[in-house]
Amino acid sequence: MTCEVMDFRPRTSELADQMPVTYIIKFQVVPERRGEFLGLLDGVLDAMRDEPPFHEAVLHKDPTCENRFMLYETWENHEDVLNVQLHRSYRQTWHEALPQLLEVERDITIWQPIRSDRNEVLAQPSLNRG
């Protein structure tokens, strides 16, 4: 069975503007610049947390390579990220420093969520489970 190819471009583009979008960003950091990388990224993550269209961000470290990171970042819509969020003043130092902090260019992919599952007890920060 094959799927019929249909042209949904206008409809899809309108829908994409209204749907949350997730970015998966992979970084290979210059070992000597790891601390600077994390410090600058912490500042960006702390600032973007207060942006109304921000949903969540999760920073991961590769367990086999302490200088390889993956950032999972979800926002309300792609157009706002491109036209507003990427131009926020708190990102300027971060963007200017990236060429010196990274061994290779960032790997950025864009995803649209279709399902989300969470353990609400575990998802809440700072709960005393003792």
Give the model's pLDDT for residue 18: 66
- State the pTM of this model: 0.78
Q: pLDDT digits over 69-108, tens only? A: 999 999 999 999 999 999 999 999 999 999 999 999 999 9
Average pLDDT for 113-130: 67
Give the least confident one: 5-9, 17-21, 64-68, 74-78: 5-9
pLDDT in tens, 39-69: 999 999 999 999 999 999 999 999 999 999 9
- At 4 the pLDDT is 52
**Please, are residues 88 and 44 in contact by the beta-carbon 8 Å criterion?**
no
**DSSP result, 16-64:** HHHS-EEEEEEEEB-GGGHHHHHHHHHHHHHHHTTSTTEEEEEEEEETT
